[in-house]
Structure 1
Amino acid sequence: MTAVDRLESGDHACLTFSETEERLDLLAAFVTAGIQQGERILCFTDALSVDALHHDLRLRGVPAEEEIRPAGDLWSSGASPDASIMVRRLAAERDRSPRGLRVTLDMCWAARPQAGAEQLLVFENEVAKLFADSGITAICEYDREAFDSVTLAYASRTHPRTVTATVYHEDATLRICRQHVPPGVRVAGELDGGGAGALRDALAEAVRLDPDVHLNLGHLRSLDDDAAAVIVRAASGLPRNRHMIVVSDRRTGRALRLAGAHGVPNLRLLEKSL
């Protein structure tokens, strides 16, 4: 497994995701790294519109230096996906990118009935040949909700690299993972005393790595007293020049205030209609 912002020219990576926010975070980190290296950035989108992906990257602080196109541009408008055409067009884009090409590919096109399972097999096998001479770096994005387990396993095997968010805890009711942009921690589901230890570890790592700690609770359905106390204690332990910025809905914000958040100057609570 490779950190998304450490992929280098010639890397061909698989990104599987179950949360759109997690996927967008990783894409933002990947695109930003390419911009910093002076590469040409080309994003092919399918599940999201061109305008929606452009908007989401701007929200994550990515400079508007990438090209975003519908995935259908890789074969031709109105036609069924053709893997051979797609690979040839990617090769042409690489050849006209002297400073290197960085590509994101939304693979949802392969889940359509008209695509045919054989097109995905052909694409992933043929596109791998483009990376032999370097000059191109790519992430293929697979939504776990759109593909069956056999296809996801095949996708993982055919990519030399795999990228994903660091996951501190995941079960049927709770997921705690690393957030790339802005750097910090994202929590989704139901957070109670059973998940407090994993949350404590995640926040401790964020304190070590990040100037300010961003805690995204936007997809949290419930927060109990013990877990709220972990958040407040972590914020209160920060030095004066550092802050914890917590994004939540009003219900979660109320639980944090009851746990003492209002008395911690290092904790900034941003309540939004999420």
Structure 2
Amino acid sequence: MPEAGAERDLATGSPGQHATLAYASDDELRDGLTTFVRRAVTAGHRVVIFLDAGSTDLARALAAAADGAEPGQYTGLRYNTSSAGSTFGGPQFGVPEMLAALAALRDDTFAAGYPALSVAGEMRWTLRAGFTPADLLSYESQVNRFFGDPRITGLCLYDRRHFAKDLLTRIGVVHPGPLLRFTLGGWGAHLSLFGELDASNAESLPTILDLVAEADSVVTLDASDLHFVDAASAGTIIGFAASRPHRHTVVRCSRGVRQTLQLVGAESVPSLVLRDLVA
């Protein structure tokens, strides 16, 4: 999992990213989130930050960073078991409730006319809510569908002092990372990949493909903006197509990506259709 100081620009530039950063001090957290808020406000995004209940000083710092925001453009929410006031949570607040809250936030944001939504979470709130490691992994995997909307940027910040190293590693796996982005949309089950697939993010690919695995239709995988794919990731794509023998998986890709897929056995899977880019 990237550290806060090393890749602070990761999820603050363009929409369509779901990134995770780990930090080891309150100063790192404050600096990372204030940068995120300033850039998103300047870009005209709606900005919502989910904070731990005790993060009063951080909430003030973020409100100051959003000083130039239009009314309603910036919201800071602190976790509370009663879900009162400028908070989120409530009794028995778990993964389904958080996913539902995000879906409602998305709908409200675009109904209000904002071009994009930037969401960040200080993930210590999950400890107060009683999330187990399994809950966290389930949440991070499922929320990929929410961040598959190209208009939404997400940043999850984890405190190394409160989350175990092995858990942070496992959480990092389900995030695509700085080199890879994906979006869901278009006709039918349509998944687009952007950037590069290599050893740094290959383990996130199965989770991303799971978003369309249950589709009872053709799955279109648009890899036209995927500039590089390593053999392991190509094998994952081929395995995905092989797991759906009665439904086609159509991969639109460059010659280089096509060659890699063919080298690792694409032609042995009848349900996999490779289509070249049209100039």
Relative to the length of structure 1, the TM-score reads: 0.52
In the TM superposition, structure 1's runs of 4+ consecutive aligned residues that sit over 4 Å from their partners are 72-75
User: Aligned partners of 1:101, 1:71: CA distance in 2, in Å?
Assistant: 20
Contact (CA 8 Å) 2:50, 2:121: kept in 1 or not? yes
| Paired residues of 1:108 and 1:142 also in contact (CA < 8 A) | yes
136 and 113 in structure 1: CA distance in 2 versus 1, 3 angstrom threshold? closer
- One-letter code of the match for 1:93? L
TM-score (norm 2): 0.51
Question: CA contact under 8 A between 1:13 and 1:161: conserved in structure 2?
Answer: yes
Matched residue type, 1:134: P
Are 1:160 and 2:172 matched, yes or no? no
Separation in 1, partners of 2:67, 2:175: 28
Letter in 2 for 1:56: A
Given that residues 15 and 162 in structure 1 are in contact (C-alpha distance below 8 angstroms), is that contact kept between their aligned partners in structure 2? no
Q: Distance in 1 between matches of 2:53 and 2:27?
A: 13
Residue of structure 1 in register with 2:249 after alignment? none
Question: Residue 94 of structure 1 aligns with which residue?
Answer: 106
Are 2:67 and 1:63 equivalent residues in the alignment? yes
Aligned to 1:151: 167
| Percent sequence identity over aligned pairs | 28
Instruction: Check whether the contact 2:11–2:154 (CA below 8 A) recurs between aligned residues.
Output: no
Matches within 5 A, 1:188-267: none
Residue matched to 1:251: none
Q: For 2:79 and 2:117, locate their aligned partners in 1 and report how far apart those are by CA, in whole Å.
A: 17
Q: List runs of 5+ in structure 1 lacking aligned partners.
A: 164-274
1:133 maps to 149
Give the residue type in structure 1 aligned to 2:21.
L
Return the offset for 1:117: 2.4
Report how far residue 116 of structure 1 moved: 2.3
- In 1, the alpha carbon distance for the partners of 2:28 and 2:96 equals 30
Q: Report deviation, 1:134.
A: 1.8
Aligned counterparts of 1:113 and 1:34: Cα–Cα separation in 2 = 27
* C-alpha distance 29-22 of structure 1, shift in aligned 2 (>3 A): same
Aligned counterparts of 1:54 and 1:110: Cα–Cα separation in 2: 17
Q: Would you say 1:82 and 2:82 are equivalent positions?
A: no
Q: Which residue of 1 aligns with 2:119?
A: 103
Q: 1:70 to 1:113 in 2, by over 3 A?
A: closer
Helix, strand or coil: the match of 2:161?
Answer: coil
Whichever residue aligns with residue 12 of structure 1, its letter is H
Q: Give the letter for the 1:63 counterpart.
A: D
Aligned match of 2:47:
41
Distance in 1, matches of 2:98 and 2:11, equals 26
Question: In structure 2, how many angstroms separate the alpha carbons of the residues matched to 1:123 and 1:23?
Answer: 21
Report the aligned-residue RMSD. Answer: 2.5
Determine helix, strand or coil for the equivalent of 1:161: coil
Q: How many residues align?
A: 160
Q: Distance in 2 between matches of 1:115 and 1:97?
A: 27
Provide the secondary structure at the position in 2 that maps to 1:137: strand
Structure with more of its chain in helix, by fraction: 1
Deviation for aligned residue 1:107: 1.0
Determine if contact 2:103/2:146 at 8 Å carries over to the other structure. yes
